[in-house]
Chains A and B, each alone.
Chain A
């Protein structure tokens, strides 16, 4: 935001624009704009509160005893009840679910970014017959609602389990199956976004790589992919959140109690604690589920912004 430049003012004494002295007003900011600014700020504040307060409430509640919670649900905790977390972790099996989520998401995220980047790169930078067709085939996946695909997907995944050799890794209740399903569902947006991103990278740098002796593969790995880092990171983040919070897909595929992922675990926890009225353990489980997302956001905040305003060296 520049405040050092003022529009040339025409005044009686010759009209040279004055600098310094009092602080120059921002061009185009009058009383009306100020009011709009206040309303905007107020709206943002309100929105921030609506988002943040339930989160804070959940975190605070996870430190209370069940007694405290029942008496005064909105009050502050008297002490830190670490017991809630251990109950959620072990008794409600959140630990196992957490591990399951980590395994599935690390497979799915790696594969999504790998295949997404490779596909998008080829679609963005190589001209071949059928390029557009393939691109629209990918992007067409965006219009497919997950719920519509649930039943056929169930049968496909179940039948994959009876394939020879690879069947033992696939089928229902398999980490790899769930990860592959995640990959399939996140591919359309990944390809859509990364194709646009790879297009913005300067052709001359790719040509410089070719002149320097790169093969197609080394050009992709050593030159283009590192240059696409901002876009890759923001998209990986987006996919991470999507995969981590996925509920419907694991519900269909992970039916075995031991293989359930965190979102399912929380669902179960919510159902069972409802009867036992162990609310604080539920909140503790929620906080455990939330933490990785929160950490990822905090750590990669800069990259998210960089990805959105992705700039390459001119």
Chain B
């Protein structure tokens, strides 16, 4: 078991100027489950592969524990990796697949059999040990890939989107299995995914990357409650946060007919920036339908209502005379609001939503950084 440290680690692919991973600074605790998340092409897989030793490091350093592994070959790093497509050896049985690394390392046959047996028991694979991978289902293959990593008892687990080839239901159950397995083994784990729900549910901490740059590292709730910039705010949360650029005037943020009160400190900070607009974000659950006599709020024309049983979400577009301007300034195509599931509005209805006080997120128009009231 060990810590993992990225120290300004940089990767520039040959033939490109822009780094795929740009001076990544990240310290992962011993035994921690850290999730790297971001849109495709953000550098999360590259970061993982740099740690694995499958990708060169062009600048900075990577350390596992106290060892500098920056230019060490993968086999000397004491790590194990689970690949997205599992990368099982098709010509070997499940047992041979799981024991291959030990065999290469020259571990005795009895020891290999014992460790493979233990891992198989842990993963419920005992009856499949003599099968070839092609005779297994997707979920079983995924478990074999996990088992191959577990038998090595490495210092660090690396997982590269290990659930993305499973169907939705299996993905949810495997997700919790992996998380609980990791807690039980207590092995430091770096997990890459593009699925922010996976990131939020599995990780002790989540690191959000975009365009090769680390945006924020925090606990899942920390990211959700205090996104440090507009990108994180838009990326974390499902359905996504509503984000739009509002004009600031007289202690209120307005956009056409939409009108939200803002704290004085935010107004002051916006003025300090020399700007008269602010990026305002509010999550779907922060919106409540207003009674008609209330002033302010955000008028929304309901397009679609998603009823999930426990929740209902309204997908709508800005309504009112200035709707076009509002739509232009909105970061997404629609406004999303969570409503009472047993009392959901109808398609085509017009509703005035108000933002629950204190649940707004403010970001600077100029830098995109979070403004704390």
Contact = CB atoms under 8 A, between A and B. Distances in A.
Given A218-B104, A313-B134, A314-B85, A211 B80 contact: yes
Nearest to B104: A213
Which range contains the number of A residues in contact with the other chain?
Answer: 20 to 34
B75 A210 contact: yes
Interface string A199-221: 00010110111111110001000
Q: Which of A207, A212, A229, A314 has the most CB of B within 10 A?
A: A212
Would you call the interface of chain A mostly helix, strand, loop, or mixed? Answer: helix
B89 A205 contact: yes
Contacts, number: 64
A283 B104 CA distance: 54
Nearest to A218: B104
15 contacts: A204-B87, A205-B87, A208-B148, A209-B89, A209-B100, A210-B53, A210-B54, A210-B74, A212-B100, A212-B101, A212-B148, A226-B89, A229-B91, A313-B88, A314-B85
A207 B80 CA distance: 11
A157 B84 CA distance: 53
Nearest to B81: A211
A226 B91 contact: yes
A12 to B, nearest CB: 34
A59 interface: no
Contacts of B148: 208, 212
B83 A204 contact: yes
Contacts of B87: 202, 204-205, 207-208
A212 to B, nearest CB: 4
B330 interface: no
Contacts of A207: 52, 54, 81, 83, 87
A208 B160 CA distance: 12
A312 B88 CA distance: 11
Interface string B53-90: 11000000000000000000011000111011101111
A30 to B, nearest CB: 38
Q: Which 8 pairs of residues, A with B, have the shortest CB-CB distance?
A: A212-B101, A208-B87, A213-B75, A204-B87, A313-B90, A226-B91, A213-B104, A205-B87
A223 interface: yes
A227 B54 contact: no
B84 A313 contact: no
